[in-house]
Structure 1
Amino acid sequence: MSAARVMVVDDHPVVRDGVALLLRGEPALVVVGSAESGRSALDRAPGLAPDLVLLDLRLPDMLAPEIVAGLRERVPAARVVVFTAHGDHHGVQAALDAGAHGALLKDAAATDLVDALRRVLRGERVRDPRMVPGGASQAALVRSGLTRREYEVLRLAAQGRTNPEIAETTGLARNTVKTYLQSALHKLGARNRVEAIGKASEAGLL
């Protein structure tokens, strides 16, 4: 299977170069081009024919929802993922409403970024769980009593990840992952991982 074609749209060269560097070791994803503004992204996208566009939420010339809508018209087969340093920005939801397929924070670890992009290419809608709005709502988290970290570990467990895999993804020690999971189980009143995932789903957390 050929590698998925990725286009990076960001007005900061260091971000464009950084993403290209992160994806260089990932044979399933290849950066085929970039753009530094919304207008240049819309102009270049048809020629680059990307499978996925990683789009900065804040560009100097256009709002992200406008760019998303334009990309959906010009390269309808491409999936668009908003990439931002501002997880609580209302523009995230506006971009998703305009048709973006996902939203990620720029401080995502390389393994998380690659995993998220792969999931988007498989047809999933992906949001970093730390985003507000996105993932679990703050209200649902408050009701559950879970911390963000406990929620993040539980979310990865719900994806079928093992404790060692969760540790690798989050950068936590395995014992710490186990502690967070046990704490989440206790707060949800669950006896095991499966029951915890079910209860978290019912509570609107997953």
Structure 2
Amino acid sequence: MTAARVMVVDDHPVVRDGVVLLLRSEPALVVVGSAESGRAAIERAPELAPDIVLLDLRLPDMLAPEVVAELRAVVPAAKVVVFTAHGDHAGVAAAMEAGAHGALLKDAAATDLVAALRRVLRGERVTDPRIAPRAAGDPAALARSGLTRREYEVLRLAAQGRTNPEIAEFTGLARNTVKTYLQGALHKLGARNRVEAIGKASEAGLL
């Protein structure tokens, strides 16, 4: 199996070196290069052809959402994952909205980082559970939707790419209960499936 190519974008050398060390024992992931700024990342990415980009949320020259959008344009096949020390930062949500495929905290253990990157490479959207969720964008929107708090919470976790068993584990609910809440949310939003429900919830200012 060909190892997935990882690019690290961070203005701190210790972080760039740290990721290399964390992934050193994982043959399925290899760090092929790095960049210390958003502009450098955009210039180097086409040549490095990464499968996944670990992107620092706070770069000296550009906002993370701008870098995400540019990277999606120059290396459309790459998955971009925000890598941050600030779990409650509003920039995480903005970066996800710009097209990032995940958000991870920098203190993640090697096993957690590898597992998360593997999930992203499989096509999942992965967010560290410690990253503070965005509150409903508009309490009035939640009231208009008719969603209960639990239905909203389950739908928000689904929007992060979590499966029903993962949502059950995260919330402490039974799997059947998670399914019931999701079905309730779908019905209230007039959606045929979870993807459509997430889209409609996002349009309504709920996510």
- When normalised by structure 1's length, the TM-score is 0.70
- Tell me the C-alpha RMSD between the 2 structures: 3.2
**Does the alignment pair 1:44 with 2:44?**
yes
Residues of 1 paired with 2:184 and 2:104: CA distance?
23
Report the CA distance between 1:132 and its aligned residue.
1.8
What is the rounded CA distance, in whole Å, between the counterparts of 1:60 and 1:200 in structure 2?
43
Question: Deviation string for 1:39-70 (max 9, x for gaps)?
Answer: 11111111100000000000011000110011
Moved over 3 A (4+): 193-204
How far did 1:195 drift? 4.1
- The aligned counterpart of 1:30 is 30
Is 1:109 aligned to 2:90, yes or no? no
> Given the superposition, is the C-alpha separation of residues 159 and 63 from structure 1 closer, same or farther in structure 2, using an over 3 Å criterion?
same
Q: Secondary structure at the match of 1:67?
A: helix
Report the equivalent of 2:69. 69
Instruction: Give the distance between the partners of 1:202 and 1:129, measured in 2 at CA.
Output: 23
Against the structure 1 CA distance between its residues 202 and 130, is the aligned structure 2 distance closer, same or farther, given a 3 Å change threshold?
A: farther
For residues 58 and 178 of structure 2, what CA distance do their matches in structure 1 show?
Answer: 35
Q: 5+ residue gaps in structure 1?
A: 145-150, 161-165, 167-179, 186-192
Q: Distance in 2 between matches of 1:201 and 1:19?
A: 37
Which aligned pairs between 1:1-206 and structure 2 lie closer than 5 A? 1-133=1-133, 158-159=165-166, 184=172, 193-195=174-176, 197-198=178-179
SS in 2 for 1:61: coil
CA distance in 2, matches of 1:3, 1:159: 27
Specify every segment of 5 or more residues in structure 2 that has no aligned partner in the other structure, as ranges: 140-148, 151-156, 186-207
Superposed CA offset, 1:141-198 (max 9, x none):
xx67xxxxxx9xxx899249xxxxx9xxxxxxxxxxxxx99xx46xxxxxxx534654
Q: TM-score normalized by structure 2?
A: 0.70
Correspondence for 1:173 = none
AA at the equivalent of 2:165 = A
Q: Secondary structure at the match of 1:68?
A: helix
Closer/same/farther in 2, CA of residues 203 and 61 from structure 1, 3 Å limit: farther
Within 2, Cα distance between the matches of 1:202 and 1:10?
41
CA distance 1:199–1:130, change in 2 (3 Å) = farther
Q: Which amino acid aligns with 2:51?
A: D
Amino acid at match of 2:70: G
Report the Cα distance in structure 1 between the residues aligned to 2:124 and 2:8, rounded to whole angstroms. 20
CA distance in 2, matches of 1:109, 1:196: 31
1:25-46 CA-to-partner distances (Å, cap 9, x unmatched) read 1111000000111111111111
CA contact (8 A) 2:16 2:34 kept: yes
The secondary structure found in structure 1 opposite 2:130 is coil
